[in-house]
C-alpha cells in the first residue's frame, strides 16, 4: 500500500493526527472547510478555553511536540468556587503538584497547524468542505467554497476528524448496521470575556478554574496568558431561569447582579457580549462502528462528541491518536487489521467518557457547593492517602491517569455505592476519618476483590 493518507478536518485532533502520520513518513493531505485560521484569526478572534490533562499531554509527548504546547498552557491546580453568599473557596483537583491546564482552543489549533505544516509531507487544503465519501472506493468529495468547484480525491486511508457533525460519519450512517445516537442537553452555552487590568494582569486568581455553581446553571472562567479570562455561561434554553427568560438589557443585568454579582464588575462588555455572542448547543454523539473496511476511520468528536463537563473531549480525541499510534507500533502498519481492532477496542471508552461527562455536569453546577459533596471529597482524599494502591478517586483516574475510560466509569458506579454507605455512618461529619469509615471501606474492598 502506498504511504498516503487523507485527513478530513484540521481541528485539534486532525492537526495532531497529521503530525503522527507525517512522522511515520506518510504523504498527508489535510482538508478543512474553514479558511486558514493562521491568516484570518480564530472565529473572529473569539477563543474558547479548554482544560488539558494527562491524556492530552501523553499524546503531544508521543507526537514529540510537548515542549511547544507547554508554552501555551496555564496550570490550574484547583477550582475556585464563588459561592452565592460571595465567599470564595478553593478545592484542589488532585494531589500536590497535580493540575489541569488552560489552553486557548484557537491558540492550540494554530500551534498544531504550524507544527504540522512544518513537515514537507503534509499538505493543507483550506476552504474545502467535505460533502461525503464513496466508502468502497474509497473516495472523498469536497466543495472548494472559494470557487464553488467540486473535487474528488482518492486515498488508501481516510481519517475523519471533521467534528461532532462529521460529513464522513453521515456517509457511514447510511450503511447497514451502523448505530448512531445524538442527544442535545437542555442547556446552551454563551461566552463572555473578563479583560485584563490596565497593566495586563488577571483580575482573579489565574491558578484556578473559577466556578459559580447555582444549582441548575453555572458560570465558569478559565485564565488566558494575556491576563484575560474566558467565561462560559451554561443555562437552560427554556424555563423560569433561562436564555428565553432573559429578554432585554435590563434582564441581563438583573440576572448577573442577582446570581454572579462579583463577576459583573469584571465584565465591562457584559450586555454587548451577551447580545452578540451566540448561544450554542451541547450535543453527545455515540456511534458504532467507527470504521469502514479497515480504510476509513472516525477519530475525535466525529466518533464521540461529548458534553464539556469533565474537560475531556479534546483529551479523549488526543488519546485516540496515542492509542492508534501505539497499536501501529505494536502490530506494524497493517492498517486493515489495526483500524478495525482500534475501533472495536476504543468505542467502549468513547461511550464511557460520554456518560461520565453527563454525570459531572450535576457535580459542577450543583454539588461543588454542597457540604455533603465536600465531605465526600475530603474522605476520598483521606482514603487515597491511606490506601494509595487500592483507592483512587474517579476524578483523578479520569484526569491524572491513563486508565481506560470504561474502567473509570465502572469505578464511578462502585465508588458511588461506597460513599452511599460511608455517608450513612452515624455522625460522619465529625467521624470522617474514624475506624467506622475505614471498616466500611475495607468491607467494600473485600466485596470488590471477590
Ligand atoms: C464549551 C466547550 C468547552 C470545552 N471544554 C473542553 C475542555 O475543557 N477539555 C477538553 O478536552 N475538551 C473540551 N471541549 C471539547 C473539545 O473542544 C472537542 O472535543 C475538540 O475540539 C474535538 O476536536 P476535533 O478535532 O475532534 O473536532 P473539532 O475541534 O470540532 O474540529 C473539527 C474540524 O473539522 C472541520 N470540519 C467540520 N466539518 C467539515 C467538513 N464537512 N469538511 C471539512 N472540514 C470540516 C471544522 O471546521 C474543524 O476545524 C469543549 C467543548 C466545548 C463546546
Express each pLDDT in 71-100 by its tens digit. Answer: 989 999 999 999 998 899 998 998 889 999
H helical segments located in 149-191: 167-173
Burial class from Cβ neighbours inside 10 Å (0-12, 13-18, 19+) for residue 315 reads buried
DSSP conformational letter for 71: T
% pLDDT > 90, the chain:
90
Of the pLDDT bands very low, low, confident and very high (cuts 50, 70, 90), residue 46 is: low
Model confidence at 377: pLDDT above 60: yes
What pLDDT shows up at residue 287?
A: 98
Element (H, E) at 90: strand 88-92
Of the pLDDT bands very low, low, confident and very high (cuts 50, 70, 90), residue 61 is: very high
The DSSP result for 348-378, as a single string, is HHHHHHHHHHHHHHHHHHTGGG-HHHHHHHH
Question: Residues lining ligand 1, judged by CB closer than 6 Å?
Answer: 8-14, 31-34, 48, 50-51, 105, 129-130, 161-163, 167, 189, 232, 300-302, 308, 311-315, 317
Rounded to the nearest whole angstrom, what is the distance from the C-alpha of residue 159 to the centroid of ligand 1? 15
Burial class from Cβ neighbours inside 10 Å (0-12, 13-18, 19+) for residue 380 reads buried
Of the pLDDT bands very low, low, confident and very high (cuts 50, 70, 90), residue 355 is: very high
Model confidence at 392: pLDDT above 80: yes
Closest C-alpha among 302, 292, 315 to residue 182: 302
Determine the average pLDDT of the residues in 118-131.
Answer: 98
Rounded to the nearest whole angstrom, what is the distance from the C-alpha of residue 138 to the centroid of ligand 1? 25
Model confidence at 370: pLDDT above 90: no
If DSSP codes are grouped into helix, strand and coil, which group holds residue 74? strand
If DSSP codes are grouped into helix, strand and coil, which group holds residue 281? strand
Rounded to the nearest whole angstrom, what is the distance from the C-alpha of residue 1 to the centroid of ligand 1? 31
What pLDDT shows up at residue 43?
A: 60
Per residue in 257-308, pLDDT (tens digit) is 999 999 999 999 999 999 999 999 999 999 999 999 999 999 999 999 999 9
- From residue 154, give the alpha-carbon distance in Å to each of 141, 256, 296: 9, 53, 12
Of the pLDDT bands very low, low, confident and very high (cuts 50, 70, 90), residue 389 is: very high
Q: Name the closest-CA residue to atom 39, ligand 1.
A: 162
Rounded to the nearest whole angstrom, what is the distance from the C-alpha of residue 139 to the centroid of ligand 1? 24
- From residue 55, give the alpha-carbon distance in Å to each of 322, 361, 404: 9, 20, 10
- The answer to which of 86-95, 113-122, 150-159, 346-355 has the lowest mean pLDDT is 86-95
Model confidence at 70: pLDDT above 90: yes
Q: Is the peptide bond before 289 cis (omega within 30 degrees of 0)?
A: yes
Per residue in 206-258, pLDDT (tens digit) is 999 999 999 999 999 999 988 999 999 999 999 999 999 999 999 999 999 99
Burial class from Cβ neighbours inside 10 Å (0-12, 13-18, 19+) for residue 420 reads exposed
Closest C-alpha among 322, 310, 382 to residue 353: 310
Rounded to the nearest whole angstrom, what is the distance from the C-alpha of residue 11 to the centroid of ligand 1? 6
Burial class from Cβ neighbours inside 10 Å (0-12, 13-18, 19+) for residue 435 reads exposed
Model confidence at 1: pLDDT above 90: no
- From residue 147, give the alpha-carbon distance in Å to each of 32, 139, 151, 339: 15, 21, 11, 35
Determine the average pLDDT of the residues in 387-393.
Answer: 94
More confident residue, 363 or 408: 408
Q: Which residue has the cell 498552557?
A: 73
The answer to whether residues 158 and 6 touch, using CB atoms and an 8 Å cutoff, is: yes
Per residue in 100-110, pLDDT (tens digit) is 999 999 999 99
Model confidence at 38: pLDDT above 70: yes
Q: Name the closest-CA residue to atom 15, ligand 1.
A: 313
Of the pLDDT bands very low, low, confident and very high (cuts 50, 70, 90), residue 371 is: confident
Rg of the chain in Å (alpha carbons): 23
Rounded to the nearest whole angstrom, what is the distance from the C-alpha of residue 353 to the centroid of ligand 1? 16
The answer to whether residues 100 and 93 touch, using CB atoms and an 8 Å cutoff, is: yes
Determine the average pLDDT of the residues in 378-396.
Answer: 94
Rounded to the nearest whole angstrom, what is the distance from the C-alpha of residue 151 to the centroid of ligand 1? 25
What pLDDT shows up at residue 47?
A: 65
Determine the average pLDDT of the residues in 28-33.
Answer: 98
The answer to whether residues 171 and 41 touch, using CB atoms and an 8 Å cutoff, is: no
- From residue 112, give the alpha-carbon distance in Å to each of 78, 115, 221, 442: 27, 5, 24, 47
Q: Name the closest-CA residue to atom 30, ligand 1.
A: 163
* Gap between the Cα atoms of 162 and 300, Å rounded: 8
Model confidence at 343: pLDDT above 60: yes
What pLDDT shows up at residue 133?
A: 97
* Gap between the Cα atoms of 168 and 133, Å rounded: 6
Element (H, E) at 229: strand 229-236
Rounded to the nearest whole angstrom, what is the distance from the C-alpha of residue 80 to the centroid of ligand 1? 26
Nearest-atom index, ligand 1, CA of 53:
11
Choosing from 42, 162, 277, 316 the residue with most ligand 1 atoms within 8 A of its CB, the one to mutate for a pocket test is 162
Model confidence at 142: pLDDT above 80: yes
Nearest-atom index, ligand 1, CA of 10:
49
As given in the structure block, the three cell numbers for residue 198 are: 490596565
Amino acid at each position: 500500500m502506498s504511504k498516503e493518507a487523507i485527513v478530513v478536518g484540521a481541528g485539534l485532533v486532525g492537526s495532531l493526527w497529521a503530525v503522527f502520520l507525517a512522522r511515520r513518513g506518510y504523504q498527508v493531505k489535510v482538508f478543512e472547510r474553514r479558511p486558514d485560521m493562521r491568516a484570518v484569526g480564530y472565529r473572529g478572534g473569539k477563543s474558547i478555553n479548554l482544560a488539558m490533562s494527562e491524556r492530552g499531554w501523553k499524546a503531544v509527548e508521543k507526537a514529540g511536540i510537548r515542549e511547544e504546547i507547554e508554552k501555551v498552557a496555564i496550570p490550574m491546580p484547583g477550582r475556585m468556587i464563588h459561592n452565592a453568599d460571595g465567599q470564595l473557596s478553593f478545592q484542589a483537583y488532585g494531589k500536590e503538584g497535580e493540575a489541569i491546564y488552560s489552553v486557548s482552543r484557537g491558540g492550540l489549533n494554530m500551534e498544531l497547524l504550524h507544527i504540522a505544516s512544518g513537515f514537507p509531507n503534509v499538505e493543507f487544503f483550506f476552504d474545502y468542505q467535505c460533502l461525503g465519501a464513496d466508502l468502497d472506493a474509497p473516495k472523498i468529495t469536497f466543495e472548494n467554497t472559494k470557487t464553488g468547484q467540486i473535487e474528488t480525491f482518492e486515498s488508501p486511508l481516510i481519517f475523519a476528524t471533521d467534528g461532532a457533525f462529521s460529513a464522513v460519519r453521515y456517509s457511514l450512517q447510511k450503511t447497514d448496521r451502523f448505530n448512531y445516537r445524538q442527544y442535545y442537553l437542555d442547556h446552551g452555552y454563551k461566552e463572555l470575556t473578563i479583560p485584563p487590568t490596565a497593566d495586563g494582569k488577571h483580575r482573579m486568581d489565574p491558578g484556578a478554574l473559577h466556578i459559580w455553581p447555582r444549582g441548575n446553571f453555572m458560570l465558569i472562567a478559565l485564565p488566558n496568558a494575556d491576563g484575560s479570562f474566558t467565561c462560559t455561561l451554561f443555562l437552560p434554553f427554556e424555563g423560569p431561569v433561562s436564555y428565553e427568560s432573559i429578554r432585554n438589557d435590563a434582564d441581563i443585568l438583573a440576572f448577573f447582579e442577582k446570581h454572579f454579582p462579583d463577576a459583573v464588575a469584571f465584565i465591562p462588555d457584559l450586555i454587548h457580549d451577551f447580545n452578540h455572542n451566540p448561544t450554542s448547543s451541547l450535543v453527545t454523539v455515540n456511534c458504532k462502528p467507527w470504521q469502514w473496511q479497515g480504510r476509513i476511520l472516525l477519530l475525535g468528536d466525529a466518533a464521540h462528541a461529548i458534553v464539556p463537563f469533565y474537560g475531556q473531549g479534546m483529551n479523549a480525541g488526543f488519546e485516540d491518536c496515542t492509542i492508534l499510534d501505539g497499536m501501529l507500533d505494536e502490530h506494524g502498519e497493517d492498517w486493515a487489521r489495526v483500524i478495525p481492532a482500534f475501533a472495536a477496542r476504543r468505542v467502549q471508552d468513547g461511550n464511557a467518557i460520554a456518560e461520565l461527562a453527563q454525570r459531572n455536569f450535576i457535580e459542577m453546577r450543583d454539588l461543588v457547593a454542597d457540604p455533603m459533596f465536600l465531605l465526600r471529597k475530603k474522605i476520598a482524599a483521606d482514603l487515597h492517602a491511606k490506601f494509595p494502591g487500592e483507592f483512587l478517586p474517579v476524578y483523578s483516574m479520569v484526569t491524572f491517569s491513563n486508565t481506560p475510560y470504561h474502567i473509570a466509569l465502572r469505578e464511578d458506579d462502585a465508588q458511588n455505592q461506597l460513599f452511599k454507605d460511608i455517608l450513612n455512618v452515624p455522625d460522619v461529619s465529625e467521624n470522617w476519618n474514624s475506624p467506622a469509615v475505614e471498616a466500611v471501606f475495607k468491607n467494600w474492598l473485600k466485596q470488590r476483590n471477590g
